[in-house]
Amino acid sequence: MRGDKFLESLNDGRSVWFEGKKIDRIREHPAFQGTLGTIRDLFQTLDDPELRERVGYRVEGSERYAHSSFLVPYTPEHLTRRNRSFSFWSAETHGMMSRLSDYARSLVTGWYAARHELKALDPGFELKIASYYEHARDNDRFLTTAIIDPQIDRSSGLDDRRIAERFLHVVRETEEGIVIRGAKMIATGAPYTHDFILSSFLKFDVKDTKHAHVLIVPANSPGLHIVCRESFADSREQNHPLGAKYDEMDAVLFFDDVLVPWERVLLYGDSQKVLALRANRTANALAYHQNVVRFVAKLEFITGVAFAVAESIGVSGFLHVQEKLGELIVQIDVIKALIIASEAQAKTDVSGVLVPEISFIDSARSIGTKFYPRAVEILQQVGGGGFMQTPSGMEDFYGPISKLMHLYFEGATVSAEKKVQLFKLAWDLIGSPLGSRHELYERFYAGDPVRAYANQYIGYDKDRLIDPIWDLLKQTSKSVGTRG
């Protein structure tokens, strides 16, 4: 079963640092056990005859099912299949696991799909991406991205040596490949990923050749250190039903002279080409499509929790509560409608790939950065102090004060025990360290939201909207002139 194979594969000599120690067997570590169990079960769905059609597709010329993030969409049915697969894993994890590698796999699939066009960037690109795509698809490689450079001094650039030395760069070239040094700020899922997709981020100067690259680097590369944040995993499932299963670990990556073989150097030395690859519409549309499909599952989850909380304490009949719960429904509908629009207006690109309309997906990603914090706020407003009116554990329901517990924790429509369970779940979602991390994630996972909105303005066909204004004013001044 490939879930177990996935867990086994993590004993590969990788250097994962947690609380000052290098972890030997990550799958047995309490910070990762719950999350890895979740991922194992999801991987297993591809071997399940009942589920594999939903999650995967049969690779041409083989009996093997691959995850649908590897499916190159040429028809609307292919796009539907991709959506169905993302929806399924997201619903299984309530949208709480956003880096199950289907995003990064989609990026690779997009580059592969557009490889004939992209070979203009580098003649070696086409073969390299094709070979990696097949390797990743046929070996169920778990992938994540590490793009953003460390937050040292954002007002400074590569002309500052402090920055240039710390941002990922090439220190030398050898016959086998390039040797890289520097760090990357956050890679979610890093401790249990197989490969990192690395790319330089800033709009570099043409002269900054050593910092311009797009690379694929295995997590067990010698010299690569994965430095984990504090764990938000909590095995006390009754108190932390989400923390027990869904803490996707974020980690900083240190590259202490890591050799990247030439076959995994997709681009190097030309910042304009790196930017062109990063802007590739096919790859971005396929990858961002996954982001927003996953987001629907999370919005539906938090909305369901808010509805249940409101009913459990008898506040769902108040007008202002209904208005807020209605706002959550509007959020879901807006994102769903943008996804439907992106699929309905998908266009075939020069390689024959059916690409969802990215402007709708960009809008969903941008508005999502405001929706989720607002959804958290609504849940707080609906639940009030109830999130703190919970006992430290469930044990008292079975101890000497059991009768009083049932009496005083009772809800409007639910038993005391159910109400406490519900509020603990809700608190895990919006108030625990994991919950706070999720709010931050939704604000920033797609990049700086301020610049994302600004980029939508910059890239928009503004004349389409401005020209009619001038036309109207021309008409107005003509008629004024006539009257005059």
Ligand X SMILES: Cc1cc2nc3c(=O)[nH]c(=O)nc-3n(C[C@H](O)[C@H](O)[C@H](O)COP(=O)(O)OP(=O)(O)OC[C@H]3O[C@@H](n4cnc5c(N)ncnc54)[C@H](O)[C@@H]3O)c2cc1C
Could you give the string, one character per residue 308-337, with x where binding to ligand X holds by CB under 6 A and - elsewhere?
Answer: ------------------------------
Query: Least Å distance between CB 248 and ligand X?
Result: 8
Query: Least Å distance between CB 151 and ligand X?
Result: 5
Q: How many residues bind ligand X (CB under 6 A)?
A: 21
Sign of CA dihedral 373, 378, 384, 387: negative
Query: Least Å distance between CB 238 and ligand X?
Result: 26
Closer by beta carbon to ligand X, 268 or else 445: 445
Q: Does 283 bind ligand X (CB under 6 A)?
A: no
Could you give the string, one character per residue 438-467, with x where binding to ligand X holds by CB under 6 A and - elsewhere?
Answer: --xx--xx-xx-x-----------------
Among 51, 59, 91, 148, binds ligand X (CB under 6 A): 148
Closer by beta carbon to ligand X, 95 or else 411: 95
Among residues 181, 114, 186, 109, the alpha carbon closest in space to that of 144 is found at: 186
Query: Least Å distance between CB 432 and ligand X?
Result: 14
Query: Least Å distance between CB 41 and ligand X?
Result: 22
Among 19, 49, 60, 154, binds ligand X (CB under 6 A): 154
Burial class (CB in 10 A: 0-12, 13-18, 19+), 192: buried
Closer by beta carbon to ligand X, 96 or else 353: 96
Closer by beta carbon to ligand X, 193 or else 363: 193
Tell me which residue has tokens 């931050």: 440
Core vs surface per residue 107-144: b (16+ CB within 10 A) or e: bbbbbbbbbebbeebbeebbebbeebbeebbeebbbbb
Closer by beta carbon to ligand X, 37 or else 447: 447
Burial class (CB in 10 A: 0-12, 13-18, 19+), 57: middle
Burial class (CB in 10 A: 0-12, 13-18, 19+), 298: buried
Tell which positions 186-205 bind ligand X, by CB under 6 A.
Answer: 186-188
CA angle 60, 62, 64 (to 5 degrees): 105
207 Cα distance to chain centroid: 32
Query: Least Å distance between CB 5 and ligand X?
Result: 24
Using the rule CB under 6 A, give the single segment among 142-150, 166-174, 380-388, 412-420 that binds ligand X: 142-150
272 Cα distance to chain centroid: 26
Among 437, 439, 453, 456, binds ligand X (CB under 6 A): 437
Closer by beta carbon to ligand X, 219 or else 315: 219
Query: Least Å distance between CB 147 and ligand X?
Result: 4
What is the C-alpha to C-alpha distance for residues 224 and 428, in angstroms, rounded to an integer? 33
Tell which positions 205-264 bind ligand X, by CB under 6 A.
Answer: 250
Using the rule CB under 6 A, give the single segment among 67-75, 180-188, 260-268, 280-288 that binds ligand X: 180-188
Closer by beta carbon to ligand X, 387 or else 441: 441
Q: Which 8-state DSSP code applies to residue 159?
A: T
Quick one: residue 95, left, alpha or beta (phi over 0 = left, psi -120 to 50 = alpha)?
left
Closer by beta carbon to ligand X, 72 or else 143: 143
Closer by beta carbon to ligand X, 410 or else 448: 448
Closer by beta carbon to ligand X, 45 or else 101: 101
Q: Which 8-state DSSP code applies to residue 445?
A: T
Q: Which residues pair with 354 in a beta bridge?
A: 348
Among residues 4, 5, 23, the alpha carbon closest in space to that of 15 is found at: 23
Among residues 96, 102, 157, the alpha carbon closest in space to that of 432 is found at: 96
Closer by beta carbon to ligand X, 250 or else 362: 250
Using the rule CB under 6 A, give the single segment among 65-73, 86-94, 127-135, 436-444 that binds ligand X: 436-444
Using the rule CB under 6 A, give the single segment among 60-68, 127-135, 218-226, 437-445 that binds ligand X: 437-445
What is the C-alpha to C-alpha distance for residues 168 and 252, in angstroms, rounded to an integer? 12
* Contact (Cβ atoms closer than 8 angstroms) between residue 228 and residue 188: no
Quick one: residue 19, left, alpha or beta (phi over 0 = left, psi -120 to 50 = alpha)?
left
Sign of CA dihedral 348, 351, 356, 361: negative
Query: Least Å distance between CB 10 and ligand X?
Result: 18
Query: Least Å distance between CB 453 and ligand X?
Result: 10
Query: What do you get for the CA distance between the two ends of the chain, in Å?
Result: 84
Using the rule CB under 6 A, give the single segment among 147-155, 173-181, 253-261, 467-475 that binds ligand X: 147-155
Binding site for ligand X (CB under 6 A): 99, 144-148, 151, 154, 185-188, 250, 437, 440-441, 444-445, 447-448, 450
